[in-house]
Amino acid sequence: MSDADVIVIGGGLVGASIAWGLAGEGARTLLLDEGDGALRASRGNFGLVWVQGKGLGCPEYARWSLRSADLWGDFAAELHEATGIDVGHERPGGVMLNLSGAEERENIKTLAQIRLEAGNQPYDYEMLDRRQMAELLPGIGPDVVSASYSPYDGHANPLYLLRALHAGFAAKGGRYRPGEKVEAIEAGTGATTVRTGTASYAAPRVVISAGLGTTALAAMVGVDAPIVPLHGQILVTERTAPRLALPTNLVRQTREGVMMLGYTVDDFGFDTRTRADRSRNVALGALRAFPCLRDLRVVRSWAALRIMTADGFPIYEQSEDHPGIFIATCHSGVTLAAVHARDVSRWVLGHDMPATFRRFSTRRFDVQETV
Amino acid sequence: MFRRLFEPQNPVAFDFEGETVTAGEDDTVAAALLAHGIRHTRTSAVSGSPRAAHCLIGACFECLVEIDGRPNRQACLTLVRPGMRVRRQAGPAAMKNGGGA
């Protein structure tokens, strides 16, 4: 006896996007989530819907990110219609700032290589000199030597997004169970049983999209999905009048007016504390980019843990031993939300597997396949 | 709506939007404005709706005012000073040095 057509394990941005997509396809969907104490990258996100610079050495990832960015407008509109929540999506293009000659050379090399690897697929961007930048983003600092601009990039409010996905999922008849940490997954013929501390549920299809919890859950069904935490820290300023017309990799202004300043990358294990020295580095970087920020007060700061594979690319895989059990995880839960809602949910229901997914299987981590 | 339990021993006067407000020397600006019956101390930067102090412990940022020309001050975390000039925070503040490079 099955409790649902699909059980999705993990109620963060990835799981909630897939669950919303599944409910929209008419599948009876059960979304199991941990409690408020869960590590929750979705609540620490910077909020970029970002394409440029992603997918070096992996054109499938560059294309996947671009497809999601292209679908994002419709995705946000559907969420708005279903829930009344405006997730604040805008796509004015995005800017990556080069604060030194070395950064500039690296940026130029990376983007040229990604464009080369894109083959006959479009991959638009342009390099901007200081004069062009100053027109686009008045107030840019003297340390900024150049920038790259991509028309594909944009941003959204990740907290509204998570709320809208949950509200939309419920509105389409999905069942949500918080406080149910999954302790066992038992594959059986025709149905998989998922046990939590308090209950057990069975369904013919199960999606494991549990962020940093994915490794342990995937191991229960014989899949080695190595994922590690990567600490990132953000500062948020008081609200100010609209100033930045488009997001950059270091600073973005939200629709509500705050400046979000990023970012750091550190391996501190599972420690989610903020660090004063990292806050200082973030603030100094932002001030080099935009000296005009110096009179704004910082009102919030937080750290969160990215969900990282060894190569930084996502994992999408259906278990070979147990068809019907799927693994989907990545660190770009905002950017990829639109393809998770559309393409991944259809794949889980047995429609076409996106052609690029062969590249995203965990097989790539096998020693035998590493050159 | 709010009533003082006892009158201040050493009253302090300051200016709110051209009106003289009398407060106790240990009052926060937010407490003094509420005790004076002022119910609208800022305008939301997002919706434009009128707001006033809410949490009184520095968490909610509903009590933002302009004090002596400086925008976005938290009235609930600022003690009154004689002669200070307080104004409503009208929407988002512009960045002070918001000009060119």
| Model confidence pLDDT, tens digit, residues B49-70 | 999 999 999 999 999 999 999 9
What pLDDT, on a 0 to 100 scale, did the predictor assign at position B100?
A: 35
Best interface-test mutation with A: which of B95, B96, B97 has the largest number of A CBs within 10 A?
A: B95
The CATH number that domain A6-49+159-226+311-369 falls under is 3.50.50.60
Region for residue A283 given its phi and psi (left: phi exceeds 0; alpha: psi -120 to 50; beta: otherwise): alpha
Cα distance between residue A203 and residue A126, in whole Å: 48
Residue B37 maps to a domain: yes
What pLDDT, on a 0 to 100 scale, did the predictor assign at position A370?
A: 53
Cα distance between residue A140 and residue A273, in whole Å: 31
Residue B69 maps to a domain: yes
Cα distance between residue A297 and residue A317, in whole Å: 45
How far away is chain B from the Cα of A265, in angstroms, using its nearest Cα?
28
Interface pTM, i.e. ipTM: 0.77
Cα distance between residue B101 and residue B97, in whole Å: 10
What are the residues whose beta carbons fall under 8 Å from the beta carbon of A57, sequence distance 6 or more?
A: A117, A311
CATH code of the domain covering residue B34: 3.10.20.440
Q: What is the mean pLDDT of residues B27-34?
A: 97
Task: Note whether A141 contacts B95, CB cutoff 8 Å.
Answer: no
B5 touches chain A (CB under 8 A): no
The dihedral of CA A235, A241, A242, A244: what is its sign?
A: negative
What amino acid is encoded at A296 in this protein?
A: L
For each successive 10 residues of chain A (371 residues), what is the average pLDDT?
Answer: 93 98 98 91 95 96 97 98 97 97 97 96 95 92 96 98 98 97 93 95 98 96 95 95 94 95 95 95 96 92 95 95 96 97 97 90 79 51
CB A65 within 8 A of CB A332: yes
What range does the domain containing B38 cover? 12-90
- The more confidently predicted of residues A70 and B45 is A70
Residue B98 maps to a domain: no
Alpha-helix residue ranges (DSSP H) falling in chain A: 13-24, 59-83, 101-117, 130-136, 158-171, 214-219, 276-289, 337-339, 345-348
Task: Note whether A292 contacts B97, CB cutoff 8 Å.
Answer: yes
The CATH number that domain A228-308 falls under is 3.30.9.10
Please tell me the total count of domains within chain B.
Answer: 1
Residue B16 maps to a domain: yes
Domain-wise residue ranges, chain A: 6-49+159-226+311-369, 94-151, 228-308
Best interface-test mutation with B: which of A135, A288, A292 has the largest number of B CBs within 10 A?
A: A292
Residue B78 maps to a domain: yes
Residue B95 maps to a domain: no
Residue B48 maps to a domain: yes
